[in-house]
């Protein structure tokens, strides 16, 4: 049984509300009008828009003549909130922006705070190596979601199953190391929250081996698959000039043949000491971006292996700056429900040293003050340049925190990628940008 699509007359023309199941009557009704031009509202609740993204499409037949993105549905005011917390607490907020790449948000923020404090060179090497290792693991888990959901949205269901299987393995590592699978607030100003646990390196090496083997499953499913190539080749075209004027970075820029990767051009956390390649294609299309993400997985695995080697040489080294006015008073430990203070530390401050208790109390409740000034710090996140603009007025809270989110910036290119194309190809174009709405709306 088909139901009637409800409609009403407005000054803009007739507006139909479609709820599913009423397609037949809608098609009949639209067929009776003389108007060729149809404006369609897609999202914000739509399975193929990659999150709460709203697309407003003007169509002529199946051709998109205009595409506009409506955002803001996930705005949470994180930037404003950080102004009312200490610099350290800020980590817990910013990690929730781009929720598929939490460690990159934390790293960019912490690099900024360290630059403001002038302690960039004091961060221990072991902390930097752990940061690099965690970020590259995170790049894998993020790319797995990009590939899996991207394929899912274009109608290929199996790649998603494999991609999420691999992502789970990475999240298990995150849980083992930080106590949390997502939004872990693991990277802190001055270092990391805690050292990696015993046996972690062995477990990481095993996982790397598994991942390298299992990545082949998705490659077999998609690389060279004729249906997949027909849906992605020549789709979502954006050339180098378009990328530059739109400020697009990350895999989309690299798919236009530009080998731009901040890990190479402006190394941070010691990336200059790792051996890896910047992957590019010159196809400027969805297929090229897909291939780049596929191959970046292998590069991340290479970096992780090198990080594991370095960690072996740095056993027992500190993971936090030596300055007691900045470093958290206790090494945290993984408890049953996430992170907590180590029991030894609790024993010391509650039973032995009143000064230690005072110091702990002041640093945790009040935080450290950061000299006045402003900085811009960047990292290469899975989606491009994550930039953080931090302003301090010399107090214990940020005066202004602003994230230049690659998802937010890159999503602007939806119109350039999809206007003049078919409506079905918008899905591929948006998926190839890989916007994470938590990052877009912050």
Which residue from 39, 353, 366, 420 is in contact with another protein, where contact means CB under 8 A?
A: 366
Check binding of 266 to another protein (CB under 8 A).
Answer: yes
156 neighbors 175 (Cβ within 8 angstroms): no
Question: Minimum distance from CB of 70 to another protein (Å)?
Answer: 9
Site string for another protein, 59-88 (x = CB under 8 A): ------------xx--x-x-xxx-xxx---
Which residue from 246, 269, 332, 349 is in contact with another protein, where contact means CB under 8 A?
A: 246
Which residue from 176, 258, 308, 357 is in contact with another protein, where contact means CB under 8 A?
A: 258
Neighbours of 46 (CB within 10 A): 16
Question: Exposure of 395 by Cβ count < 10 A (0-12 exposed, 13-18 middle, 19+ buried)?
Answer: middle
Nearer to another protein, 111 or 334 (CB): 111
- DSSP label at residue 38: E
Query: Considering just the CA atoms, what is the radius of gyration of the chain in Å?
Result: 24
Question: Minimum distance from CB of 83 to another protein (Å)?
Answer: 7
Pairing of strands 384-392, 400-404: antiparallel
Check binding of 365 to another protein (CB under 8 A).
Answer: yes
Q: Residues 6 or more apart from 82 whose CB is under 8 A from it?
A: 89, 90, 93, 94, 397, 398, 401
Nearer to another protein, 32 or 121 (CB): 121
Site for another protein in 292-311 (CB under 8 A): none
Quick one: which segment of 137-145, 199-207, 227-235, 363-371 binds another protein (CB under 8 A)? 363-371
Nearer to another protein, 178 or 392 (CB): 392
Beta bridge partners, 339, equal 334
Quick one: which segment of 16-24, 153-161, 285-293, 370-378 binds another protein (CB under 8 A)? 370-378
Which residue from 54, 294, 373, 423 is in contact with another protein, where contact means CB under 8 A?
A: 373
Nearer to another protein, 309 or 323 (CB): 323
Check binding of 339 to another protein (CB under 8 A).
Answer: no
Dihedrals phi, psi of 39, to nearest 5 degrees:
-105, 125
Check binding of 272 to another protein (CB under 8 A).
Answer: no
Nearer to another protein, 86 or 142 (CB): 86
Distance CA 400, CA 367 (A): 16
Q: Give the residue from 394, 373, 396, 329 showing the smallest Cα distance to 82.
A: 396
Which residue from 180, 184, 222, 248 is in contact with another protein, where contact means CB under 8 A?
A: 248
Nearer to another protein, 346 or 358 (CB): 358
223 neighbors 291 (Cβ within 8 angstroms): yes
Distance CA 3, CA 143 (A): 41
Nearer to another protein, 303 or 390 (CB): 390
Distance CA 338, CA 24 (A): 52
Site for another protein in 111-150 (CB under 8 A): 115-116, 118
Distance CA 376, CA 391 (A): 9
Site for another protein in 382-441 (CB under 8 A): 385, 387, 389, 391-397, 399-400, 402, 404, 408-409, 411-412, 441
Dihedrals phi, psi of 26, to nearest 5 degrees:
-65, -45
- DSSP label at residue 348: I
Neighbours of 358 (CB within 10 A): 11
Nearer to another protein, 218 or 249 (CB): 249
Nearer to another protein, 79 or 106 (CB): 79
Break the chain down into helix, strand, coil percent, rounded to 5: 50, 15, 35
Nearer to another protein, 3 or 120 (CB): 120
Neighbours of 276 (CB within 10 A): 18
Question: Minimum distance from CB of 109 to another protein (Å)?
Answer: 15
Check binding of 375 to another protein (CB under 8 A).
Answer: yes
Q: Is the dihedral of CA 211, 215, 216, 221 positive or negative?
A: positive
Q: Is the dihedral of CA 341, 342, 347, 348 positive or negative?
A: negative
Which residue from 247, 257, 318, 340 is in contact with another protein, where contact means CB under 8 A?
A: 247
Beta bridge partners, 97, equal none
Runs of H (alpha helix) within 332-401? 343-347, 354-365
Given the rule CB under 8 A, which residues bind another protein? Answer: 71-72, 75, 77, 79-81, 83-85, 115-116, 118, 244-248, 258, 260, 265-266, 362, 365-366, 369, 372-376, 385, 387, 389, 391-397, 399-400, 402, 404, 408-409, 411-412, 441-442
């Amino acid at each position: 049984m088909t139901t009637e699509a409800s409609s009403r007359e407005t000054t803009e023309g007739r507006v139909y509300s479609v709820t599913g199941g009423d397609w037949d009557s809608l098609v009949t009704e639209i067929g009776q009008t003389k108007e060729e031009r149809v404006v369609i509202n897609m999202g914000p609740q739509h399975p193929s828009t990659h999150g709460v993204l709203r697309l407003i499409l003007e169509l002529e037949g199946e051709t998109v003549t205009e595409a506009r993105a409506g955002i803001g549905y996930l705005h949470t005011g994180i930037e404003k909130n950080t102004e009312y917390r200490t610099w350290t607490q800020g980590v817990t907020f910013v990690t929730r922006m781009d929720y598929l790449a939490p460690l990159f948000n934390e790293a960019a923020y912490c690099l900024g705070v360290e630059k403001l404090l002038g302690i960039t060179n004091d961060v221990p090497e072991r902390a930097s190596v752990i940061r690099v290792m965690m970020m590259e693991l995170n790049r894998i888990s993020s790319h797995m979601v990009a590939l899996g959901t991207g394929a899912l949205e274009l109608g290929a269901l199996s790649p998603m199953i494999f991609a999420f299987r691999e992502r789970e393995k990475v999240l298990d590592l995150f849980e083992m190391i930080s106590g949390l699978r997502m939004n872990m607030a693991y990277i802190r100003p001055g270092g990391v929250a805690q050292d990696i646990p015993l046996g972690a390196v062995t477990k990481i090496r095993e996982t790397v081996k598994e991942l390298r083997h299992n990545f082949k499953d998705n490659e077999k499913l998609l690389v060279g698959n004729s249906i997949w190539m027909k849906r992605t080749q020549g789709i979502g075209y954006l050339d180098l000039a378009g990328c530059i004027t739109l400020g697009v970075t990350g895999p989309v820029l690299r798919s236009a043949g530009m080998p731009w990767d901040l890990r190479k051009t402006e190394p941070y956390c010691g990336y200059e000491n790792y051996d890896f390649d910047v992957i590019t294609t010159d196809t400027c299309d969805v297929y090229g971006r897909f291939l780049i993400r596929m191959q970046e997985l292998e590069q991340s695995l290479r970096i992780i292996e090198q990080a594991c080697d370095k960690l072996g040489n740095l056993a027992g080294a500190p993971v936090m700056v030596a300055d007691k006015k900045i470093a958290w008073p206790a090494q945290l430990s993984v408890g049953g429900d996430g992170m907590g203070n180590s029991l030894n530390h609790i024993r010391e401050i509650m039973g032995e040293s009143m000064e230690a208790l005072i110091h702990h109390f002041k640093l945790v409740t009040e935080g450290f003050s950061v000299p006045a000034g402003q900085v811009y710090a960047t990292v290469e996140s899975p989606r491009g340049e994550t930039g953080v603009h931090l302003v301090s007025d010399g107090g214990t809270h940020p005066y202004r925190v602003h994230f230049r989110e690659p998802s937010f910036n890159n999503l602007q290119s939806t119109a350039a990628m999809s206007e003049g194309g078919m409506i079905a190809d918008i899905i591929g174009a948006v998926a190839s940008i890989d916007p994470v709405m938590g990052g877009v709306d912050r």
